[in-house]
Amino acid sequence: MKIAAISDIHGNLYALMKVLEDIDQKKVDLIVCLGDLVGYGPHPNEVIALIRRRELPCIKGNYDASVVDGGFTYIRDTPINSFALPWALSEIRVSNKYFLSGLPTTLKYNFEGVKVEFVHGSPNSINEYLFEDGPNTKEIMKDFSSDVLVCAHTHIPSLKNFDEKIFVNVGSVGKPKIGRPNATYCILDINGPNDIKVEFEELEYEYKKIVKDCTMLNFPGNIVKSYETGQE
Element (H, E) at 206: none
CATH label of the domain that carries residue 47: 3.60.21.10
Inter-residue contact 133 to 167 (CB < 8 Å): no
Helix and strand numbers, DSSP H then E, in the chain: 8, 9
- In order of 30, 79, 144, 214, 232, the CA distances from 221 in angstroms are 37, 11, 41, 9, 12
Antiparallel, parallel or unpaired: β 183-190 and 2-6: antiparallel
State residue 25's pLDDT score: 96
Q: How many independent structural domains does the chain possess?
A: 1
Strand partners, 119: 106
State residue 60's pLDDT score: 98
Print the domain residue range for 12.
2-229
| Rounded Cα–Cα distance for residues 168 and 106 (Å) | 15
| Rounded Cα–Cα distance for residues 116 and 226 (Å) | 32
Residue 177 CB partners (closer than 8 Å, separation 6+): 154, 155, 156, 230, 231, 232
Categorize the per-residue pLDDT at 168 as very low, low, confident or very high, splitting at 50, 70 and 90: very high
pLDDT, tens only, 102-158:
999 999 999 999 999 999 999 999 999 999 999 999 999 999 999 999 999 999 999
- In order of 21, 58, 81, 179, the CA distances from 70 in angstroms are 33, 21, 12, 31
- In order of 39, 69, 118, 161, 167, the CA distances from 73 in angstroms are 14, 7, 22, 32, 27
DSSP state of 167: E
| C-alpha torsion sign, points 69, 10, 58, 89 | positive
State residue 232's pLDDT score: 82
Vertex 48 angle, CA 188 and 18, to 5°: 55
pLDDT, tens only, 32-71:
999 999 999 999 999 999 999 999 999 999 999 999 999 9
Buried/exposed code over 9-43 (b: 16+ C-beta within 10 A; e: otherwise) = bbbbbbbbbbbbebbeeeebeebbbbbbbbbbbbb
User: How many Å separate Cα 51 from the centre of its chain?
Assistant: 12
